[in-house]
Structures are given as C-alpha cells and as structure tokens.
Structure 1
Amino acid sequence: MTSKLSAAIQAELIVGGVTQSALAHKLGVSSTTVNHWIKGRKFPDRESLAELKSAFNWTRDDIIEMARDYILNDGGLKIYRLAHTAFVKSMFENDYEAFLDALLALDREELRVDEHHIGTSNQWAKIFDQGSDFWRVLVYDDEVVGYWQASVVREDVLERIIRGELLDSEITCEMLCHPVLPGNYSLYFCVLLLSREHRSAKNLQRLLKSFLGVLEDFARSGIFFDDIGTVAVSREGSQLCESLGMVKIRNLERRTEHEVFEVFRARGSIISTLRIPNSLGGKDLTDLYREHFTPEQKTGDCR
C-alpha cells in the first residue's frame, strides 16, 4: 500500500533530483524520519508538514487530502499481518523459490550467514512447500519483515542437528515426517527472525503466538511433539529459550561470527511445563500436553 503522501514525496524527489538524505537535512529531520513518511509508517507532524508544503509548493487542499488518505488506510496502525500460503500465491505467483529468495536475503542480512550454513532457495522451497503447516511470515505493507519455520523430522535427524553434525543447508525433504496420524513426533525449530527495523516485543509475540497456535491445533488432533530442538544464534534467542523453560544442552562450535551458538531442547513431559504466557495461548497448549504425557505414555511414531 502506497499512501498519497508517500507517492507525492517520491515524485518530488525524482523531479527535483533530490535524495532522501538531502530532503531530511533541508527539513531538519533525520533520514529515518523521511524514510518512515515514504514507507507510510508515520505521518509528518504539523511543523514538518509546513516545511514540506513550502518546499514542494503544496496547497492546503493537498495536505488535507494526504491526511485523509493516511487515516482511511489505517494510519500505519494496522499494517503488520501474519501471512501464509495465500501470500506466496498472490505475491509470488506460487513461485516458492522466489519467495525463499526473499526469506534467505533476510537471513543473510540479519544473521550474517552464508549459503553454506543456511542453504539455497531451491532446497528450502521444496521444504516450505511440503511442510506448509510449519511456517508463517510477518508482512508489513506486502514486504516480508519476519518469519518462523520449523520442520517435523525423524528422531535421528534431530539428534544429528543437536550434535552439530547436520547444518540447515543439509536438511532435505527425505528427512521430513508428515504428521497425519495421532502420535508423537520430533520437531526442529529452525528459525524465528525479525528484521532490525521491525524488531519489537509485539511483533515477536505475533510470530511466537502463531507458532504456538499451530502446536495447539495439532495437539487437538492428537499429534504431539515429544522432542523439540533449536539452535539459538543470538543472545536474544537464548534468552527467549531460557524464559520459556527450555533446557540448554550444549554450545556448538562457532560456525559464523555470532557470539552464541547454543542448543536448547524440550522433551516429553517437560513440554507441558514450559513457561508459556497465557496471552500467547500457553494454558490450553500446556494443558493438552500435560494430559497427553502420562507416565504410561510411550513415545515414538516418526522414528
């Protein structure tokens, strides 16, 4: 969604051959502020509107129309949304490789990892397509700004990942399980990522709540995960795992410039004791897991 304000500023910059930085300097604001106006994330204050009106010879009616358009289009307050397969169909014409190009570009920018560690668009396109239940993206004005992804894998595959013997780039569709029948399965939580510009507690909760919602939906169908593993590559990731009550298993040898590379795990009945806030749907999920994992309950359906 491009607002009338955004379109007007961009048109003036092009016609005048002026950069965002130059405009910001002229108006006495930061380049980030101008970028937010153009992206539709903020509307100029009264003083800035007066400066823009003078700089671009806008009329009072121009300003009123831009303000009305901004308000009618939610004023930047309802732009974030979670998206799934319909987003790939509408924005990428069901081209999962093009979709994964966008996600892996976000990985490289935020995680500072290369193809050797994260894999290729071709590899992950197949996994995202076949394992479509286990990912969601956070979208801002039709731009992917965050996502989470997990894979239901064989028990031996999860063990290899946790021991550091299998990189994300080496995961294949043949290693996946497709939970249909009730039972217990192993889950590798691969990534939960937000771009720096959109990183906030609210957006993190949006992504986390959607993941927990997927787990709850499967649990209500009798499908449980008795072994969940993940590798934290940031202090924030480690703190999130610890705050949820996951158990740290080991440190892995540093394979990137990250300061941490820690393995966390939640197994069996431990999952029912994870400290998931009720606001994220934690009570219903943990109740379902607590009821399922009785002392007599056996594990092992996708092994």
Structure 2
Amino acid sequence: MKRIAFVILLAVQIIVLVGCSTKNESLEKMEKELLAEKSVIIYALPSNGIHPMNEWTYYDLFKKFPFVSPQASFEYKGKFLPNFYDDINGSWKAVGLDKVDWQRLSETPASYDIIHIQSMGISSAGKLENDFMMNVSKAYNISSSNMKLLRQWVENGGVLWCEAGLWTSRFETFYPSGGIDDAKTMSLFSKEGSSIFGLPVSHRVFHSASSDMVNYETNTLKLKAAASASQLTGIEKVIFKPTSFIESYPILNATPLLVDEKGSSYASYALFGKGMIITMVPSQYWNAEEDGELFRWKLLGWVLERKGQKIFPSIK
C-alpha cells in the first residue's frame, strides 16, 4: 500500500510540474507576441467612394434645394446618381424672405447670394396691387425701409428669386347671405400694369373648377426651355399644376426661361442694376420622369456663375 501511495503521489507531482512548465511557456510565448513589431496595412478610399444604401447622404445639400417648394426638403433625395451630387459645392447662401436678417443684410450685403419668395394667400397679401412688392410687404409684414433695403441689395448684385404668387380658396369671399361670390373673388386678381420694383409684369392666372369647398379640378401645364435660354439646354418637360381655386403669378415681361407650347412665358428674368430678378411659377421638381430638378440646378448654376461662383461642374 505504501508503494502504491508513493506512485500516486509521484504521478501527481509530475502532472503539477508539467502543468506549470506549460503555463510558463504559454506566458513567455504571449509576451513575445505582444512585444513583437507588426505592420498594419491601411486602405485609403476616396471621399465619394462609399454611399450608404439606406441613409440620405445629401441632406445638407437638399435643405437648400429648391428654394421654394410645397414639399419639405427632407422628403426629397434627388433623381440622379450619387456622383452627380458629389460634384456640387453647396456653398451658396440663400434664404427665404421670411428668414432675412435685415441688420445683417444692411451691414454685410454679401451674406446672401439669393433671397427667394414663396406664394401668399390673398387673405394675408391683400388685393393685387400695382406694385406686387406691396403685396409681398403686407404678407411678410416687412417695413417700407426694409423693402427699400431689399431693392438696394438687388441693385448692388443680389438675386431675387420669386416663385411668389397669390392664391385663394373658394371660401375667401362670401355674400352677406353666406353664399360664395366667385365674381368678387376673381376681381381681386384682376390688375393691369403691375410691376416688381418698377419692372413690368404680366399675371398668369389659373382658375380651377371646384368639386367641393376644398378639392379642385386643375389642369397640368407643361413647359420647356425657351429657344433663347441656352443655359437650359435639354430642358423639355417641366410641369406646373395649380392646387388652389385661383392662383396668380407675376411673370416679368423680360427674357423668357420657360415657355408653354404657344410660346407664352412662365419663367423669366431681368437684370436689375448689378443684380437680377427671376420670376416663375412654382413648377414641380420631384418627378423622376420630368426635368423639374435639372431645370432648377441649371438655373441655379447659371445664376451663381454670373456671380463668379463655379459650383456645378458636372451640369452640361
């Protein structure tokens, strides 16, 4: 029995010694691996080389495009491939008329490249005036001194981008008895000899059929680039569709940009001092089968290039 116990004890000691030896060898090996020099290969990718499949890469760009839209910018992701937007340097400075910092505009006019104006309800803008900018000042509650400042800003090189018009629903005007006076409503939009900062305009009035108090049957207007608008080459299908009972848009009697099949202008521009005024109906841009988005990019690129900003190299 003593002999058996001795053998067992010896076997246990051998196992313990072997285990400690193996453990020491493992620690030594691990220490050598940690201290050994290693090389790491780094692969460089171009900034436009990766495009997330389920994330919107161009949110900041589309927060500023287009300037005026009934559809919120975050809902639109563009119709073109990513490399189209990669080439765009979105450094332009545009602001809606309702967001203008008037002190900043006075002290640092170059703070803004473009100021744009949205459409206005006739209840806030009032009956159409001879000077359309009076309607604008009423709707936006802008003082006469700030309107004068806006005019000076354009004269000194600013761009006024106007997709503004007046709109109304059927229940804007009523008979004393409570009935709707469509004739009186139409008269609010009848004005000859209107102007924007003294430049003559013609009003494009759209009168929709009414199916009820809030729904209207409207016609779709198809537009294309004017023959003289070389900056808009390839623009063949831009769509405008009214959404209200009556809508009226002042279009400058100047150089046409978009025309209908009869040649009537629905977008135009005029130089104003060192600056420019653009007037247009608020055409659609989000349909991939139309040229609405490309029209706006091309027009924006041309406007900014005239100001010395080449920011759209891929647009041809």
TM-score category of the 2 structures, normalised to the smaller one? under 0.3
The TM-score, its normalising length taken from structure 1, stands at 0.23
Q: TM-score, normalised by structure 2?
A: 0.22
Higher-Rg structure is 2
Greater RCO (CA < 8 Å, at least 6 residues apart):
2
Q: Which structure is higher in helix share?
A: 1
